[in-house]
């Protein structure tokens, strides 16, 4: 991974780097450099597979971290490319032109965090939530308890009971039969 990192650093500015194992590298890049680096990694370094795109909400820093996990089938290496975007104006570009499978990942990140991926024409389609009209539920400022109480009211008493007690009672009665 050291050789790969050295090759990348010859052409691109790397904000942060960490070699986790002999086949696992993490790099952080500026948002504006991300697309060029992904193109380079796919076509020059054989990281042909986008295994995952995820998002982390750093609410205190007013940023979202976008994490692209890439896989190289030939060398059996993982590469994580991280970048940060503004949380309040969470616009980012699509990478579907580089990795077509990003379409689904971008739809999920948009629905769960509210990140707008410019150029992804399918991102407005529901991914998992139907008729959702609240802030995206994976944002750290989403109040899960408030939402639950407003939409589902107070829960029944059995919901507050330790589920192990319920299972034990059922199991004890079943064994008596």
H helices present in the chain, as ranges: 2-11, 34-44, 102-113, 144-152, 157-160, 163-176
Kindly state the tokens that stand for 90. Answer: 């969470």
DSSP one-letter string for 114-133: --EEET-TTTTS-SS-SS--
pLDDT at 126: 77
pLDDT at 157: 56
Kindly state the tokens that stand for 70. Answer: 């890439």
* Local structure of residue 16 (DSSP, 8 states): E
pLDDT at 155: 64
| Residue 118: Cβ within 10 Å count | 9
Look up tokens 């991926």; give the residue.
117
Q: Full-prediction pTM beyond 0.75?
A: yes
* pLDDT tens digits along 111-133: 999 999 998 888 887 778 888 88
**Sign of the alpha-carbon dihedral angle for 86, 89, 93, 95:** positive
Phi-psi region for residue 119, left (φ > 0), alpha (ψ -120 to 50) or beta? left
Domains and CATH numbers, the chain: 2-125 (3.30.460.80)
| Residue 75: Cβ within 10 Å count | 14
Name the pairing type of β-strands 77-86 and 24-28: parallel
pLDDT at 161: 61
pLDDT in single tens digits along all 177 residues of the chain: 889 999 999 999 999 999 988 889 999 999 999 999 999 999 999 999 999 999 999 999 999 999 999 999 999 999 999 999 999 999 999 999 999 999 999 999 999 999 999 988 888 877 788 888 889 999 999 998 888 888 877 665 555 566 677 777 777 777 776
């Amino acid at each position: 991974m050291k050789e790969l990192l050295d090759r990348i650093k010859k052409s691109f500015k790397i904000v942060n780097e960490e070699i986790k194992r002999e086949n696992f590298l993490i790099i952080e890049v500026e948002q504006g450099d991300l697309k060029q680096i992904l193109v380079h990694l796919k076509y020059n370094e054989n990281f042909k597979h986008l295994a995952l795109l995820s998002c982390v909400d750093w609410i205190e820093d007013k940023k979202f971290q976008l994490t692209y996990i890439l896989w190289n089938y030939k060398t059996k290496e993982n590469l994580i490319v991280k970048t940060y975007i503004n949380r309040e104006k969470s616009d980012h570009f699509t990478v579907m032109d580089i990795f077509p499978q990003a379409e689904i990942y971008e739809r999920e990140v948009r629905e769960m965090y509210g990140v707008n991926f410019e150029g992804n024409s399918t991102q407005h389609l529901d991914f998992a939530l139907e008729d959702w009209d609240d802030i995206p539920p994976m944002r750290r400022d989403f109040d899960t308890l408030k939402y639950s109480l407003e939409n589902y009211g107070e829960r029944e008493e059995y919901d507050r009971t330790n589920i192990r007690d319920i299972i034990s009672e059922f199991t004890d009665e079943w064994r008596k039969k």
